[in-house]
Structure 1
Amino acid sequence: MKKYLFAVAMLCSTIAYAQKAIAPDSIKTVDLKEIVVSSTRATTKTPMTFNEIKQEEIEENNTGKDLPYLLEMTPSAVTTSDAGAGVGYTGIRIRGSDPARVNVTLNGIPYNDPESQQVFWVNLPDFASSVSSIQVQRGLGTSTNGAGAFGASVNIETKGLNRNSYATLDNSIGSFNTRKHTAMFGTGLIADKFAFDGRLSQITSDGYVDRATTDLKSYFLSGGYYGQKSLVKFNIFSGHETTYQAWYGVPESRMDHDVDEMNAYVARNFIGSADSLNLLNSGRTYNQYTYDNEIDDYDQTHYQLISAFDLSETITLNVSAFLIHGEGYFEQYKTDRDLADYGLNDITIGTETITSTDLIQRRWLNNNFYGTTFSLDYLPNNGFKFTLGGAWNQYNGDHFGKVIWAQYASNGTIRHPYYFNNSLKKDFNIFGKAIYNLSDQLSLFGDLQYRTVDYTMEGDDNDAQTIDQSHNYNFFNPKFGVKLQLNDQSSAYASVAIGSKEPVRNDFTDNVSTATPKAEKMTDLEIGYNRKTTKYTFNANLFWMDYKDQLVVTGELNDVGSSLRTNVDKSYRAGIELQLGYQLADKLKLNTNVSFSQNKIDGYNETIYNYGIGWDEYNADVISYGKTDIAFSPNVVAGGNLEYSPINGLNLRWIHKYVGEQFLDNTSTDSRKLDAYYVSDAIATYTLTGNSFKSISLKFAVYNLFNQMYSANGYTWGYRGGGEEIRENFYYPQAGTNFMIGLNIKL
């Protein structure tokens, strides 16, 4: 915290100095978007692959589902939902890359959890209501802050200055008792200098999966000073989530309604009578958890101090400081747990010794993530732009567990602590990027980034294993490209980039091999063509992402639902992404995209545990495969929508999504895969405008219009024993046909 306060003090000093340096007769108001997010965003001159989602499109699709569902129409994107209805724990994969490979920044400030590198959208409920634009760069993209982008980067900009006062009420209700209530307000520009904005939100849902309830609350407050050549803005936003756990998934036999296989599953996994009845009597919405408070309860608060200045006609400066505080737990009911595993003594009563107990445990996280970001833009003329940017941040996180109840308490007390460990991670990066126009038709791009990471873990994990270790990484990530303006309507580009990425916490703590997980390296080649006319837009992009020591998921999960990973020597992703927007008629528009790819590992070794014929051994068998498909990497992903506006104020959209088959592990085994699926949605919006209000919009959405029974995610694990090989597959079923209806009033 002292270092955070020091960073804030340095920022305030910078602001004070810059304010003195600014001439009082300046006439240009700083554009927050141009200054704050431009250093990590691509532009029309950047030879990179990207899409941008504007505020109007965000508002059209924001009915309460988590933010990944607002991005699922971007090329190569696949969304998932643990609870099956798009609310709660959700995720997005882009080009087959999992969320730990998707870099996310909020106003240029890193958001990925530094340890897992995951993006927990559930901690930012209804954040989309405070967003003005989102840019999705695929591949390595331009240099950014925070976790390395190994499949994509998502750059989110919150709403900027609104010169006029406003108030908005946005309410939606729908299937599974899903409700979204949002109130927003803004003062407009006060005394030509100040503006304040706010939002309060609540989203609740029973979920599609049994008991997978969600209760999300959030707020967003922002106040800014808008000078003629300066801006100072403070954002504070927070989310509190309480979700009933649904991360275990549904066994394959339950999905197939195969009673014999369900009974076999019960027998080989020693499932008790109550749990077996739950399995047999449920449908595809089965949830293993039945304890009434098997919940995840977490609170996360963000503080952002953002400043931007025009230091001269050619130089602009942005400096930001941030703090993210997170604190919460997940609670679990456990049966027949060894007392010794919790630091508790065995109990002797007469001649009987009790060595195990039923109990309720809470596993806690308490962390602070803080730091600074900066960028200095130099634009001497229209033919050259140079940006010097970077960030420093530190993460300090405690992991600990408590027993809040036990059938046999032994020597424990209420909230008995049974493990504790701390992680400290420091991250620094600096980059310089430049665009130089050789002519009106030809632009050159260069981007050099240096990043260093120090990561230390100390203490005992929940399995009583000591995890003391320290790791240091130094990465150099160069990127180069060229863009050619062929004519007024067409352009082409090519780029090559090299990126590196450190392992995540679970790669170290859940590592079952003796080898230390290696950092990954990737070379990304992108070649693209864009054409835009008054009638249509067309984009085509070829990519080749060549990996060294890629960390791929094995198909298994650890005890908190996170994927286990292993290094593979050589692997690649190669494909083509096509986008078309076509004005079919005056009131009829088509937008569509499709991605074709190959995602391969050049030789994969699977480790499977062998307990022997008599279940009295413990060996690790290695099965070697040739070239295989990377898990969760469909060869075909397509999406699109047909939009029709028959009369003023009425908008009708028919939305389509197709995802090809995906394998649950890296063996390309047909018995361990997700089937291809096609989903169609329909959304109708009618908007009225008037004198006493800005607008009133009524929205009706039907999701999964044709009631497709599909799963968008899953996992698998296996073992050998008793002379046979057992494989267990689990799936996360998604909801059939469901609806939402919403009313939005803007004053």
Structure 2
Amino acid sequence: MKSILLKKSMLTVVITLSTASVYYAQSVKDTLNREADIEQVVLTGVADLAKDRKTPVAVSTIKEEQIIKKLGNQEFPEILNTTPSVYATKGGGGFGDSRVNVRGFDQVNTAVLINGVPINDMENGSVYWSNWAGLADVTSAMQVQRGLGSSKLAIASVGGTINILTRSADKKRQANVTLGVGNDGYYKSLFSYNTGKSEKGWSSSFLVSRTAGSMYADGTEFEGYNYYFALGFNPSEKHDLQFTITGAPQWHNQRSFSPTIAEYQKYSENGEIDRRYNLNWGYKSDETGVRREYSFARNYYHKPVMSLNWDWTISPASKLSTVVYASFGRGGGTGTLGKVNNKTENGFRTSEGYIDFDAIVEANQAIAAPGTGANAVFTRRSSINSHNWIGAISSFNHKINENLNFSVGVDARYYKGIHYRVSSDLLGAKYIVDNTDINNPNRQLTNTYSATPNWNPFGSKTNEEKIVYYNDGIVKWLGGFGQLEYSNDLISAFVQGSVSNQGFQRVDYFLYAPNEQKTKNQSLTGYNVKGGANFNISSTSNIFGNIGYYERQPFFGAVFLNNRNDINENLTNEKIFSAEIGYGYRSPILDANVNVYRTSWDDIYKRISYRDAVANKTYYASVLGINEIHQGVELDFVVKAINKLRINGMLSVGDWYYNKDVTASFVDDETREVIKAGQLLIKDVKVGDAAQLTASLGADLDVTNWFSLDASYRYADKLYSSYDPAASIDTRREAIELPSFGLLDAGASFKFKLNKDQGFRFRVNVNNVLDETYIAESRTSILPTDKVSSAANAQTYQEAGRIYDGIADGNQVYFGFGRTWNASVTFTF
């Protein structure tokens, strides 16, 4: 692949290497050499990446070497936790259930791209990392651009952009075999092979791996596979084609419900905190009578993604980069359905806190004729969320003169989400009764479907017996973008804009007669404009700034209300305004960056509920006009005082809050009558779910040429709980502040070369070395002054002594993992 990184005009296809997450460059020349090295082993094409001392955005880049060394058996996004304003957690702790926040924005509002192609769900913006569990094996670089970033696409980059770059087919000829082990039965095996490029321009790369075991939390067994294949062809110097396909079929038991602090204490051996406790699992006897782990919460999915990249160098001044891609996701997640003897899982919970699934089977078997009421049964269902997704991005770049160039392009996508439920396990029941399909009422269903991933994701499974709901979501996207940029040795500047039109349709097969099932297309237009400039004051110092405005269409759930074909008549685009300025310093001893930012996010849509206990009915309000402010300062640095020692660190301090009160009107969905109107008193309430102050300090020491040590300490503070604005109807409530925490991670690497092409690499990681007990996130915001029950004479949590580390023990939280470890050996040949 011809290097395009050294062309000054290609501002948006290069990678900055001057962050605390990568190794120090002694000079600008060394930086360019390292950038070229990255380009040789990753796909670029339509990817918009940032270049040091040129692209005016705040950015951090993590290379393949660091991912291989330090990720171990952590979740993939956790490798970003030592970059400014990033807060990644393991979520419930199941395999691939992690999540990441950037500048206080969750991953729904953070754009995630693979080689420049967006992967956020087109219906709701979500990213499910379990679908991408194998990415760590094939990633050659990972870049985080905080803020609106340098991408020309109209993507959900409110908080930032995470661009994951996979290796290209023409990586040098090499093979690797890796075996790894870790805590709780973790085991991984991997084989990869690269052919290198032949004289005729062909190259290929292949990888396959298997990972299995349990996570740290109880009841979280898993098994995942990963495959990757890349085929490259250079028919001439003008054309470069790269085909890739990657997939990660997996199943994993989850901890999908957050236990309360009181439950972590209740089911521990010593009355303290059992960080491993999981509400969702227990034991169930198989056909041979052996009791095995079984869970009501099990996720399974297979989402292969294939793409064809074509780079055409039309002339020395013009280039066309195009990618055509497709994704076919199949799978879902399990949960409970119904009740038996008026009991759900808590009615079958043992004194140890497990679910007795054998007792559920016995209770279901005793129901002779399953139906409703007293004859209901309690089973496991599976919610299917499959999809078909195809798209294309094409970008034309032209160099007008030595300093000025422009680019224009198109972005087209089609997405169809397929949503329904099936019966996963009858748990001893003879059948279930389903009355949710108005066209086929009172069905008695006996078929069940395995909660395992389908290795063939191209089938539609339309013959499955569907229950509870069955609908499709269709999203059509067409966008255009353009950019003009100027660059010389001292100044680089750009201005860019994009416009996109999204069409939304919903098809409901259960709630409507056949001629009423499909809605008309609901079309919405959004756009963004942004610009920035960088000025190299000297060979060591540079300053930069950027500013942008973005009008983003709401997600699918805001278009159609109440999980029906009801169209929201009050739709409006969300408005995002962002600005930042920064300073960079480069010297033989120190690389450092500091920047300040401010983002205003206006006209946020939220669907909230209000429960009327007297009427025994729930009413909903579509709230418009919520505004959030996210502002802060970020610092990162790398120090190389001596040749063998590198010290890196970062500090980020944010101030993220709701900026105004808004009005909410709760409506009876049947009569359209306004039942209750009030103010959501949320002004100045902190935006929760991520630490607003983070810091880290780490060191890498090359003891010898074959032995190295590394360690890092990470601190999180100003961490607030998730916050439901509905809790502040006509009364002001705060998000609770969780206790701060600090975590120490450490590792060691050993390398033994047999010859220039063969050798062994050993790696050991220990995470949370000091076994710190800490709360990573809270799903609720119960104050110590709240009452423990609805009784008139009930005590507050504080009066009842039900406080843990300053937090009411009724809060539903996820504790972080305790001490974990992993070790691996890799043979390269």
**TM-score of the pair, normalised by structure 1:** 0.83
Match of 1:316 in 2: 319
Amino acid across the alignment from 2:74: K
Bigger Cα displacement from structure 2, 696-705 vs 655-664: 655-664
Give the drift of 1:320.
Answer: 1.2
Match of 2:238 in 1: 229
CA contact (8 A) 1:112 1:147 kept: no
**Distance in 1 (alpha carbons) for counterparts of 2:663 and 2:714:** 32
Change (3 A) 1:287 1:446: same
Match of 1:541 in 2: 595
Q: 1:733 aligns with which of 815, 820, 824?
A: 815
CA contact (8 A) 1:75 1:593 kept: yes
SS of equivalent to 2:811: strand
CA contact (8 A) 1:672 1:729 kept: no
Q: 2:475 aligns with which of 425, 440, 443?
A: 425
Change (3 A) 1:312 1:170: same
Amino acid across the alignment from 1:284: R
Match of 2:604 in 1: 550
Change (3 A) 1:708 1:131: same
The 5 A counterparts of 1:492-641 are: 492-507=543-558, 516=570, 518-551=572-605, 567-604=624-661, 624-641=681-698
**Distance in 2 (alpha carbons) for counterparts of 1:662 and 1:717:** 9
Bigger Cα displacement from structure 2, 658-667 vs 73-82: 658-667
Q: Confirm or deny that 1:655 pairs with 2:655.
A: no
**Distance in 2 (alpha carbons) for counterparts of 1:34 and 1:643:** 25
Deviations 1:594-640 (A, max 9, x none): 1111111123469899xxxxxxxx97876624421112243311123
Q: Confirm or deny that 1:328 pairs with 2:328.
A: no
Q: Confirm or deny that 1:714 pairs with 2:717.
A: no
Give the drift of 1:359.
Answer: 2.3
**Distance in 2 (alpha carbons) for counterparts of 1:170 and 1:535:** 35
Match of 1:409 in 2: 432
Match of 2:61 in 1: 52
**Distance in 1 (alpha carbons) for counterparts of 2:655 and 2:376:** 50
Match of 1:456 in 2: 505
Match of 1:365 in 2: 385
Amino acid across the alignment from 2:500: R
CA contact (8 A) 1:476 1:500 kept: yes
Give the drift of 1:252.
Answer: 2.4
Give the drift of 1:55.
Answer: 2.3
SS of equivalent to 1:176: helix
Match of 2:824 in 1: 742
Amino acid across the alignment from 1:459: D
**Distance in 1 (alpha carbons) for counterparts of 2:528 and 2:178:** 43
Q: Confirm or deny that 1:285 pairs with 2:276.
A: yes
Give the drift of 1:466.
Answer: 9.1
Amino acid across the alignment from 1:702: V
Match of 1:695 in 2: 759
**Distance in 2 (alpha carbons) for counterparts of 1:730 and 1:555:** 19
**Distance in 1 (alpha carbons) for counterparts of 2:658 and 2:331:** 38
Give the drift of 1:123.
Answer: 0.8
Deviations 1:652-698 (A, max 9, x none): 11112111122321679677343222111001111122227433111
SS of equivalent to 1:118: coil
Deviations 1:351-385 (A, max 9, x none): 99755322221211221010111111112443122
Change (3 A) 1:677 1:566: farther
SS of equivalent to 2:339: strand
CA contact (8 A) 1:477 1:498 kept: yes
Amino acid across the alignment from 1:424: I
Amino acid across the alignment from 2:527: F
Deviations 1:469-528 (A, max 9, x none): 854321120001121110111110111111233333445667699885643211110101
Deviations 1:688-718 (A, max 9, x none): 2222743311111110011111122231278
Give the drift of 1:337.
Answer: 7.4
SS of equivalent to 2:432: coil
The 5 A counterparts of 1:110-121 are: 110-121=118-129
CA contact (8 A) 2:577 2:600 kept: yes
Bigger Cα displacement from structure 2, 99-108 vs 688-697: 688-697
CA contact (8 A) 2:41 2:140 kept: no
Q: Confirm or deny that 1:393 pairs with 2:457.
A: no
**Distance in 1 (alpha carbons) for counterparts of 2:238 and 2:40:** 11
Q: Confirm or deny that 1:485 pairs with 2:536.
A: yes
**Distance in 2 (alpha carbons) for counterparts of 1:158 and 1:597:** 32
Sequence identity percentage: 19
Q: Which runs of 5+ in 2 are unaligned?
A: 1-37, 283-293, 343-366, 434-442, 448-464, 611-620, 667-674, 798-807
Q: Confirm or deny that 1:678 pairs with 2:742.
A: yes
**TM-score of the pair, normalised by structure 2:** 0.75
SS of equivalent to 1:59: helix
Amino acid across the alignment from 2:378: D
CA contact (8 A) 2:605 2:626 kept: no
Q: Confirm or deny that 1:188 pairs with 2:239.
A: no
CA contact (8 A) 1:306 1:319 kept: yes
Bigger Cα displacement from structure 2, 418-427 vs 692-701: 692-701
SS of equivalent to 2:813: strand
Q: Which runs of 5+ in 1 are unaligned?
A: 1-29, 260-275, 340-346, 557-563, 610-617
SS of equivalent to 1:210: coil
SS of equivalent to 1:128: helix
SS of equivalent to 1:627: coil
**Distance in 1 (alpha carbons) for counterparts of 2:370 and 2:130:** 50
Q: 1:252 aligns with which of 253, 256, 261?
A: 261
**Distance in 1 (alpha carbons) for counterparts of 2:791 and 2:509:** 34
Bigger Cα displacement from structure 2, 35-44 vs 239-248: 35-44
**Distance in 1 (alpha carbons) for counterparts of 2:252 and 2:480:** 38
**Distance in 1 (alpha carbons) for counterparts of 2:189 and 2:622:** 39
Change (3 A) 1:677 1:607: farther
**Distance in 1 (alpha carbons) for counterparts of 2:634 and 2:214:** 37
Give the drift of 1:38.
Answer: 5.7
**Distance in 2 (alpha carbons) for counterparts of 1:553 and 1:450:** 27
Change (3 A) 1:351 1:705: closer
Q: Confirm or deny that 1:642 pairs with 2:692.
A: no
Change (3 A) 1:222 1:627: same
Give the drift of 1:550.
Answer: 3.1
More strand by share: 1
Give the total of aligned pairs: 679
CA contact (8 A) 2:88 2:100 kept: yes
Match of 2:402 in 1: 382
Match of 1:8 in 2: none
The 5 A counterparts of 1:171-210 are: 171-210=179-218
CA contact (8 A) 1:198 1:222 kept: yes
**Distance in 2 (alpha carbons) for counterparts of 1:215 and 1:76:** 32
Change (3 A) 1:377 1:278: farther
**Distance in 2 (alpha carbons) for counterparts of 1:663 and 1:555:** 19
CA contact (8 A) 2:685 2:735 kept: no
Match of 1:127 in 2: 135
- What RMSD over aligned residues (CA atoms) do the two structures have, in Å? 3.8
Give the drift of 1:162.
Answer: 3.7
Match of 1:300 in 2: 303
Bigger Cα displacement from structure 2, 735-744 vs 656-665: 656-665
Give the drift of 1:247.
Answer: 1.5
SS of equivalent to 2:316: coil
